[in-house]
Structure 1
């Protein structure tokens, strides 16, 4: 029995006869009724019930057997308890190590997605800044178009002050109208592009905010998992949380968790690509706008130069004609004066001839003869009258020519004044104002 007290390290070998609890034996006390019995001693003053020796032996054997069975059962249960404790200890250690590895793997996954989100947030922020700079370029370019528009409209208004007959729809006005229409179309295009940039910046910021919220959640989850990964059995800040082993109804699965972040990254990348494409489009638009405006400006300036050359050439021709007209007026005035003098010079011979005829008409009787002198005097008067008539006609024609020359001189002087006014408007007003046309850098939004 002393060997039963040794600590068992292995499971005991099963007994050949399985131990079981013996049934209780019912003992019937035999009554001594014979001649030697003591049943009659009660009358002697005491009464006792004594067991037989066999009964006493059976009782001791029952106690021995019960004690052995209880010790064997206790030893078996103690051994099973020790095995269960060791097994559960090892299981708990394995579970804890596996959970720690799982938390570490989760930390790596979270760190990877967190890094991707942080990178995407940085790229979105940089892309938004670049697009904002392009939007500011658009705004500067839109402001810069107000100067060409005011120049073109001012040129049209100034040219409305041209006088007849220079108030014509020439190539300059055609080019100016094309320039005004081009600037209006460009302004509408720039306004629409600015609205697109504003909307894209808003989408970039919304997607950046979404990624930042996801990143913030992952940072918080990473910190929590990192703290969980450092917990161990000797940690002092651990305690029981009986209800923490339940899954939350709103909890996500690893697939939905990864898909959520992946979708956020895909949307962010899509908006970033759209923003980059819009920046390229804005750059092309601004470059084309600046080139178109400068080309149209050069076309208008070329039209102004040609028109000024035409006006200058016309003015020189008009001045030449005016100079010749003035010289002709002077000569015609001398001619009129000579004709008048010639007419005046014919008055005296006519008076002499008519006086002679008048005096000879007073000859008496037969002396009033149509002699050669009479015929010659009459032919002389007729010749003088014909000369006077011709001279007067020439005088009238000369005076009419002089009046025509005077009218032509006035028209030429008026036309010269009109041409000078047109040259002043085109050269001094319009072309001087067009010298303030914005540069190609200003039209492209760089300044």
Structure 2
């Protein structure tokens, strides 16, 4: 009995039907594999393309933030430079306070060397004390400004450090992402020999957190920039005001010195005029005293003559002892001459008294003139020499 559809010539050979089925199945599987390969290739290219797009977008995001960071870094660096220059101005202004303060203290000390009668708390002393107080106040204020500026520079440098650190990390991330975007399947063969996969799951941040980090650094830098602007405006106004205050007070003190010098010169001139008059009067008094002495001598001689005549007339004979007009005249002359001599001697004594008073006035005037000359020398020469080189410029 024969099997239907079986070629009798094949005898006990292979089952062609099964082989055909297997061949068809293989062809179908091969077609499926080709389709799978095609789809996998398309999917791989699509995924790589999406990766490249995401990497490019990421690079653009990094570049955008880098520009923002670089702009803010330039601004903060400029602010630091401006603050350093401003701090240098303040330090120079503080240094410029030393000489005026030293001169003011020297002038106060020199004026304490005046003679006790002149050691008064006058307008010059009051202005010098105001000047010392003003300069010390300005110096104290400038010292505090230096401290504030130093602190602001420190804060700016801290913000600068954070920006530079952020920029460095952004640069490294950009380089890595650029390299990732340029990588191909062939470029990873050498890379695999040098790189190991590092798990950073515990250190990853979300895109929002990543963006916030730079925003925070930029915001801090902006805040310090605004603080710097406020401080700079304050310091500029302060430098202008303090220099104006010092100049105004220095001028007021100088005016007080000039006024005091004029008053001393005027008083000294008046005393010198009085001294000249006293000396003239003393010389006149000496002359009148001499004239009085001569008059006393002449009157004494005349009195002696009259008394001699009277004595001689007493030697007349008894009957000739007549109280005649000549006798009466001689007696009256003696009486009058004695009275005149008494008056002249009183005048001589009074003249000597006047001379002693004039000498006392002379000595007092000379002493006061010396005192005024000493005060004038201190104010017009010593203090003026100390103050002359001092020029208070705008800070």
TM range (shorter): 0.7 to 0.9
Q: Does 1:123 align with 2:75?
A: yes
SS in structure 1 at match of 2:357:
helix
Give the drift of 1:394: 2.4
Aligned 8 A contact 1:361 1:368 in 2: yes
Q: Deviations over 1:408-439 (max 9, x none)?
A: 11111222222222222222222232220134
Deviates more, 1:267-276 or 1:337-346: 337-346
Matches within 5 A, 1:238-317: 238-239=191-192, 244=197, 248-317=201-270
Aligned residues: 390
Deviates more, 1:271-280 or 1:175-184: 271-280
In structure 1, the residue matched to 2:148 is: 196
Q: In structure 2, do the counterparts of structure 1 residues 182 and 353 end up closer, same or farther at CA, with 3 Å as the change threshold?
A: same
Q: Does 1:105 align with 2:57?
A: yes
Structure 1 CA distance, aligned partners of 2:43 and 2:202?
A: 29
In structure 2, the residue matched to 1:345 is: 298
Structure 2 CA distance, aligned partners of 1:129 and 1:82?
A: 68
In structure 1, the residue matched to 2:112 is: 160
Matches within 5 A, 1:384-423: 384-423=337-376
SS in structure 1 at match of 2:166:
helix
Q: In structure 2, do the counterparts of structure 1 residues 66 and 364 end up closer, same or farther at CA, with 3 Å as the change threshold?
A: farther
**Match for 2:287 among 334, 350, 353?**
334
Aligned Cα root-mean-square deviation (Å): 3.5
Q: Does 1:206 align with 2:158?
A: yes
Matches within 5 A, 1:75-94: 75-94=27-46
Aligned 8 A contact 1:211 1:265 in 2: yes
Aligned 8 A contact 1:164 1:418 in 2: no
Structure 1 CA distance, aligned partners of 2:178 and 2:380?
A: 80
**Structure 1: stretches of 5+ with no match in the other structure:** 1-51
Structure 2 CA distance, aligned partners of 1:418 and 1:394?
A: 35
Q: In structure 2, do the counterparts of structure 1 residues 331 and 241 end up closer, same or farther at CA, with 3 Å as the change threshold?
A: closer
SS in structure 1 at match of 2:170:
helix
Structure 2 CA distance, aligned partners of 1:97 and 1:363?
A: 176
Q: Please report the TM-score for the alignment, with normalisation by the length of structure 1.
A: 0.77
Aligned 8 A contact 2:246 2:392 in 1: no
Aligned 8 A contact 2:265 2:376 in 1: yes
Aligned 8 A contact 2:162 2:217 in 1: yes
Give the drift of 1:264: 0.2
Q: In structure 2, do the counterparts of structure 1 residues 84 and 292 end up closer, same or farther at CA, with 3 Å as the change threshold?
A: same
Aligned 8 A contact 1:315 1:419 in 2: yes
User: Higher Cα Rg: structure 1 or 2?
Assistant: 1
Q: Deviations over 1:123-157 (max 9, x none)?
A: 21121111111111111111111111112112212
Larger proportion of helix: 2
Structure 2 CA distance, aligned partners of 1:178 and 1:170?
A: 13
